[in-house]
Structure formats: structure tokens, C-alpha cells
Amino acid sequence: MADYEYVLSSVDGPVGIVTLNRPKQLNALAGPLMRELGEAVEAHDADASIRAIVITGGPTVFAAGADIREMSNATPVDMLARSFSAQWDRIGKVRKPLIAAVAGYALGGGCELAMLCDIIVAGDNARFGQPEINIGLIPGAGGTQRLTRSVGKFVASEMILTGRMLGAEEAFQRGLVARIVPRELIVEEAVRLGKDIASRAPIAVQLAKEAITQAFEGRVDDGIALERKAFYLLFATQDSHEGMRAFIDRRAATYEGR
Ligand code: CO8
């Protein structure tokens, strides 16, 4: 199995497991981590003995979003040139079922990563949110589209416009999460689900995933293209840089609408 710096990759029978491994930064999804995540998930997707893939951050935190430090001085052109989105697209193209095992924070890009999966298993401490608005941004990896389709326009608007988070129970009630288990059991439960799926006819599983994805994401691509441009454009605003800088400096941000 390949050696990675920011993720761990392992196998349990027919289930591949990729664990985000940047705990000190709450698994913030920096470019190198996203590259390794894409590589590890693609390797499981290409392995004929693997039939489902679990993505997790372990029992404490799933991911607190894209790396704010990495983005804090970026211009829209930098954001385009770094082709951040290519790494996300890799995960979206995986053909085998992806199960997110989420404990603790799944914020911003972390919530978007969970929503790129087919099933979300949540620990009792899970917290889902799109708090980009707090740093003068909006979701940039599908959050405005997938959260809206998952929990409906009105709850999604409240979450995206105010940064409000959903705890595990509310996420379950609103249909974002398939089941809640004690935080230390998320991977075990996700692997159990993966093995259950692995016992079914593989081609039927693959085609079911494709059809469900089409039902969920049909026309989402147009929305994501719009969202991506808006996200990049926000890097031209002083407010977004003030918001990110304030987060790093641990102070309240002052927004001036420019
Ligand atoms: N980026 C970088 N570092 C982070 C991030 C992050 N998103 N989140 C946490 N960290 C770091 C902190 O800076 C801190 O590092 P250090 O110890 O070196 O100062 C360490 O992780 C621990 O964090 P805290 O001390 O802040 O821990 P708390 O328990 O006090 O707070 C929170 C936890 C509430 C999760 C808090 O860290 C927080 O609010 N984090 C930011 C959440 C956020 O705004 N996420 C959205 C980011 S933007 C985004 O995700 C857009 C995705 C679009 C991708 C599109 C690509 C095309």
C-alpha cells in the first residue's frame, strides 16, 4: 500500500478505508492532503477486490474545511491556477460506493466531502456546517447545491447564510445522515455497511449508485460551475481576506462590503 503523509489507507476485507490524518489542523483539507485523498480513493476504486470505500477522520474530527491559511492570500486567479477543484472532481468520479464515517466537525469543505459520498454514518458528536460566511466566503465545493438538495432550501439557507451547524440528531432528522452510532464505532459501522454492500451483485451496485447520483446531481453541475466562479470571485473582495486573516489572528472580523 502506498505511503502517504496526510492520509492513511488500509483495507478490511472488501472495504477500503481512507483516514484523513492531519489532526493538529483538524484535518483541514490542504492541497497536498486533497491530492493524497484523491490518489488513495482512486487506488481503492481501481482494485477489483475492493467493493466499497470508507472515508473518515477518526473519532474526533472529520474535517474543519479547506485550509484557510493556504487560501488567505489567494487571488481568484491563484484559486483557478491551483486547480483545487480537480481534486474534488476525482472523488466525485469514483464508481464504488463511498461511505463517510463522520465524527466531530464536518465543516465547509469537510461537510462538502461528506456530501460527495453516497452514505453518511455519523458519530454522536458529529457537527455539520457550512460556516464560510463567517470568513467572508461561500461554500466552494458543492455545498450550496448538495446541502440544499439534502436538507431543503430553507434549512440550507439558514445554515449557509448564518453558519449554523447541525448536530448528529438534527442531521439525521433532516436526512443528511443515514444513521448515528457512538463516535468510537463510526468506522466499524461504516465498514459493516460496506461489507453488506460488498455482498450484493457488484454491477447492480455500481449502476444503482450511478442512477441515484444522477437523480441527486442532475443539473447540479450547472449550479456547481456557478458556485465555483462565485467562490473564486470572492477572493477579489477585501472582506474575504479580512475574514480569513481574522480567523488566523483569533479576532473578530470587520466587514465593509468591499
Ligand atoms: N484551515 C486551517 N486551519 C484550521 C482550520 C481550517 N479550516 N480549522 C481549524 N484549523 C486549525 C486552527 O488554526 C488551529 O491551529 P493552531 O493550533 O495552529 O492555531 C487548529 O486547527 C485547532 O483549531 P482551533 O484552535 O480553532 O479549535 P477550536 O476547537 O477552538 O475550534 C473550529 C474548532 C470551530 C472547527 C474552528 O477551528 C473553526 O472555526 N475552523 C474553521 C472552520 C471553517 O471556517 N471552515 C470553512 C473553511 S473554507 C472552506 O472549507 C471552503 C471549501 C471550498 C473548497 C473549494 C475548492 C475548489
Q: What is the reported pLDDT for 225?
A: 85
Secondary structure E strands in the chain: 7-12, 15-20, 52-56, 98-102, 105-107, 119-123, 127-129, 166-167, 179-181
Query: Do 103 and 79 touch, CB atoms closer than 8 A?
Result: no
Could you tell me which of 44, 34, 12, 6 has the C-alpha nearest to residue 194? 12
CA 256 / ligand 1 centre spacing (Å): 23
Q: What is the reported pLDDT for 242?
A: 95
- Active-site residue identified among 132, 168, 198, 243: 132
Query: Do 138 and 157 touch, CB atoms closer than 8 A?
Result: no
Query: Do 1 and 10 touch, CB atoms closer than 8 A?
Result: yes
- Active-site residue identified among 112, 126, 143, 243: 112
> Would strands 98-102 and 105-107 be described as parallel, antiparallel, or unpaired?
unpaired
Q: How far is residue 209 from each of residues 90, 133, 183, 215, 247, measured CA to CA in Å?
A: 16, 32, 27, 10, 38
Looking at residue 185, its amino acid is L
The dihedral sign for the CA sequence 244, 245, 249, 254: negative
CA 76 / ligand 1 centre spacing (Å): 21
Whether ligand 1 lies within 6 angstroms of the CB of 168 is answered as no
pLDDT in tens, the chain (258 residues): 688 999 999 999 999 999 999 999 999 999 999 999 999 999 999 999 999 999 999 999 999 999 999 999 999 888 888 877 899 999 999 999 999 999 999 999 999 999 999 999 999 999 999 999 999 999 999 999 999 999 999 999 999 999 999 999 999 999 999 999 999 999 999 999 999 999 998 889 999 899 898 888 887 778 888 888 889 989 999 999 999 999 999 999 998 888
Substitution candidate for ligand 1 out of 34, 68, 249 with most atoms within 8 A of CB: 68
Q: What is the reported pLDDT for 258?
A: 86
Taking the CA of residue 68 as reference, the ligand 1 atom at the shortest distance is: 1
Whether ligand 1 lies within 6 angstroms of the CB of 56 is answered as no
